Amino acid sequence: MDIGASLFLIALGAIFAFAVTIDLPGIDIQVIGWILMIVGTFGMLLSFLYWRPRRARRAAVVQERIYADDPSQPPPPVGP
């Protein structure tokens, strides 16, 4: 579950738990809202714990080249 989907579930659950006052027989909307908020929070924790280490950038390996001049060779010509 991605962070965006987790935030959506948390927001939808908060709307159901705190803002909706519809009373349906056999269905408790507030409980469904709390369940959605818990599932969204759990999904967000999983995404932080599981996906973050895999997305870490790796340091680039830099190798320096060392050039040594050969004293027995004449210097290169300069200009055209």
The pTM assigned to this predicted structure is 0.62
pLDDT in tens, the chain (80 residues): 688 999 999 999 999 999 988 888 889 999 999 999 999 999 999 988 877 666 556 777 777 777 777 777 777 778 76
How far is it between the farthest Cα atoms of the chain? 98
**CA–CA–CA angle 54, 60, 62 (5° rounding):** 160
Distance CA 29, CA 18 (A): 10
